[in-house]
Amino acid sequence: MRLRWIALLASAAVLATGGIVTHRIEQHRQRVELARNLTGGNPDRAPELMITYGCAGCHEIPGLAGPRGRIGPPLGTVAERVYIGGVVANTPENLVHWIVDPKALAPRTAMPVTGVSEVQARDIAAYLYTHR
């Protein structure tokens, strides 16, 4: 009888975990869809862009393998921030503008102009709004 209860509890735990995983997958899917709609970008293209343009050299970026820079702030909570770079409201258009030309918004910022195009910045913005 005791083994039966243990087996039942183990089965319930597996089912509960599966439900949690399914829920998290659905939440992520919804975040991706919202980020695509807000930015007009494709977050799937962003990891390669962020490696190419050296973003991870200065920032810690969720889901991105490689260096974990400490010069700039970690980018895992961009979607939750009120301001971008401490100077402009966190909107999709402002984030894209910041990624393309941060000096236009804050001339004394340490963030360099990297050569990222607006289309590429939309992909990066979508990625940052998707990941936490």
pLDDT, tens only, 88-118 = 999 999 999 999 999 999 999 999 999 999 9
How far apart CA 106 and CA 103 sit, in angstroms, is: 5
- Least Cα distance to 123 among 41, 65, 26, 4 occurs for 41
Strand partners, 84: 88
Assign residue 98 the CATH number of its domain: 1.10.760.10
Residue with tokens 């919804």: 30
Query: How far is residue 51 from each of residues 15, 56, 86, measured CA to CA in Å?
Result: 38, 7, 24
Number of domains making up the chain: 1
Give the N- to C-terminal CA distance of the chain in Å, as an integer. Answer: 44
Q: Residue 34's pLDDT is what? A: 93
Range of the domain at 122: 2-130
pLDDT, tens only, 15-48 = 556 677 787 888 889 999 999 999 999 999 999 9
Q: Residue 7's pLDDT is what? A: 58
How far apart CA 96 and CA 35 sit, in angstroms, is: 12
